[in-house]
Amino acid sequence: MAALDLNEPFASLVPFGLLVGLIILAFGITSVIRVYIVRIARKVIQKIPNLWVQTVLDNHFISKLAWILPVAVVLTGVYAIPDFPPQYAEIVNRIAQAALIFVALRVLTIFLWNINAAYSSLDVARDRPIKGIIQVALIILHLFALILAISVLLDKSPWIFLSGLGAMTAILLVIFRDTLLSLVAGFQLTTNNFIRVGDWIEMPQFSADGDVIDISLHAVRVQNWDKTITVIPTHKFLEHSFKNWRGMSESGGRRIKRPVQIDMSTIRFLEEEEIQKLSRFVLLREYMENKIQELKEYNRQYQGDRDLIINSRRLTNIGTFRAYLIAYLRQHPKIHQDLTFLVRQLPPRADGLPIEIYVFTNDIRWSPYEEIQADIFDHILAIANEFGLRIFQNPSGYDFQVGLKS
């Protein structure tokens, strides 16, 4: 009986041990490179006075790029291992090739995102963001890398898998429906300049009212004024209407459009002593002089029975009040004088005669705008009584008490 060689099983394991050693060596070399070479590369790149180079070739990119080395060492070194079974060497080679594909995919992904970061620092990025385009490119790259890796592992031509995609088109359209819709929507939004990062938009359907902080392939993020975040699918911007306040920001003025309701029972002609009193108002002095002269000329030309009001033109307290508001707003330092400027009378309603202020402030910030608007209407509400006018409000318990006392 032949003697049993106990070393034979262990001898067959030696090539696999060498493979493990090769892998450990490859990753050990990579660790050294990531510690020292990356540090050196970072110092060299920082000395290049170019923002694009510093952003694109950042530490993260170089660190991921270093992972190509261990995969490449295993890929080329597996055939150098003595007595390593060819069939197993082929399997390791395929796995290493697939790993190399995914490492390259990761490096390309970081490279594209770094390009987006560098591009976002430019002014043109507000009007023409490329984040959606990069996301589409990454989807295509990931799909291609997956097909290529499977073809390498199965030792099949990638064209076999690509040709099979034709039969899966219907399924892919269902799976990537939102992606395709968002791609078209994102292209139209950026090409037609409908929306930019930094725009204030209102979209009540999604409870969105605030600044756009991000536009991506699938979603637009809006930070509302209460600091909550609303995420809206990109394709919804083509399906629903929304309001963009960019025009207000670019014009340099923010609109005030608010009426005061005048109690119509207090509207009347001015008496002579009231005309004299109002003529002393600095803001009304020029208006009163011109208006009195105009009325005198008219009444002299069309003489009639002066005892009848209908036979002559006279000043009204509501007309004089409106003239005062125009003069007051014309000299207001916070009102934009070059934009639409109206103090108009709206149709009478059950709650009084609306006198609407339609002007623009020259400060578009929210808090100063509210302060300017409040100051203006504080003055309007307080000054109305000087013209014999009363601001309408629904009767309250206090009104009934005053009525009973009188």
DSSP codes, 223-275: EETTS-EEEEETTHHHHS--EETHHHHHHT-EEEEEEEEE-GGG--BPPHHHH
CA–CA separation, 171 and 114 (whole Å): 33
Q: Is residue 134 part of a domain?
A: yes
DSSP codes, 299-316: HHHT---TTSGGGS---B
pLDDT reading at 122 higher than 80? no
Residues 235 and 363 in one domain: no
The pLDDT of residue 284:
92
The pLDDT of residue 10:
47
Segment 127-166, tens digit of pLDDT: 667 777 777 788 778 888 888 888 878 877 766 666 656 5
Q: Average pLDDT of 31-53?
A: 65
pLDDT band of 360, cuts 50, 70, 90: very high
Say which residue, 215 or 178, is predicted with more confidence: 215
Q: Which two tokens stand for residue 95?
A: 């796995």
The pLDDT of residue 385:
93
Q: Is residue 280 part of a domain?
A: yes
The pLDDT of residue 6:
41
Q: Is residue 9 part of a domain?
A: no
Segment 292-301, tens digit of pLDDT: 888 888 877 7
C-alpha distances out from residue 256 to 118, 253, 364, 374, Å: 40, 10, 11, 10
Identify the DSSP state of 48: S
Q: CATH no. for residue 211?
A: 2.30.30.60
The pLDDT of residue 374:
96
pLDDT reading at 169 higher than 80? no
Stated pTM of the model: 0.56
Residues 123 and 236 in one domain: no
Residues 38 and 158 in one domain: yes
In the listed set 204, 226, 251, which residue is the last one of a domain according to the structure?
251
Mean pLDDT of the chain: 80
In the listed set 165, 181, 208, which residue is the last one of a domain according to the structure?
165
Q: Which two tokens stand for residue 255?
A: 């609109």
pLDDT reading at 117 higher than 90? no
Burial pattern 97-109, b for ≥16 Cβ within 10 A else e, equals: ebbbbbbbbebbb
Segment 199-255, tens digit of pLDDT: 889 999 998 999 998 887 778 899 998 889 999 988 888 888 888 888 887 788 899
Residues 320 and 229 in one domain: no
Residues 285 and 374 in one domain: yes
pLDDT reading at 15 higher than 70? no
Q: Is residue 328 part of a domain?
A: yes
In the listed set 229, 251, 273, which residue is the last one of a domain according to the structure?
251
Q: Is residue 4 part of a domain?
A: no
The pLDDT of residue 228:
92
Residues 261 and 286 in one domain: yes
Q: Average pLDDT of 4-28?
A: 61
The pLDDT of residue 203:
92
Above pLDDT 90, what percent of the chain? 29
DSSP codes, 376-402: HHHHHHHHGGGGT--B-----HHHHHH
Q: CATH no. for residue 300?
A: 3.30.70.100
Q: Is residue 234 part of a domain?
A: yes
Residues 201 and 59 in one domain: no
Q: Is residue 330 part of a domain?
A: yes
Residues 146 and 231 in one domain: no
The residue range of the domain holding 84 is 14-165
The pLDDT of residue 88:
73
Residues 199 and 309 in one domain: no
Q: Is residue 172 part of a domain?
A: no
Of the segments 90-99, 112-121, 215-224, 255-264, which one has the largest average pLDDT value?
Answer: 255-264
Q: Average pLDDT of 83-95?
A: 74
Residues 265 and 298 in one domain: yes
Q: Which of 104-113, 124-133, 246-255, 373-382 has the lowest mean pLDDT?
A: 124-133
Considering its fold, how many domains does the chain have in total? 3
Give the pairing of strands 229-233 and 243-244: unpaired
Residues 51 and 31 in one domain: yes
Of the segments 74-83, 93-102, 176-185, which one has the largest average pLDDT value?
Answer: 93-102
Gap between the terminal Cα atoms of the chain? 136
Residues 118 and 152 in one domain: yes
| CA count, 13 A, side-chain hemisphere, 282 | 2
Segment 179-188, tens digit of pLDDT: 767 777 777 7
Q: Are 394 and 351 in contact (CB under 8 A)?
A: yes
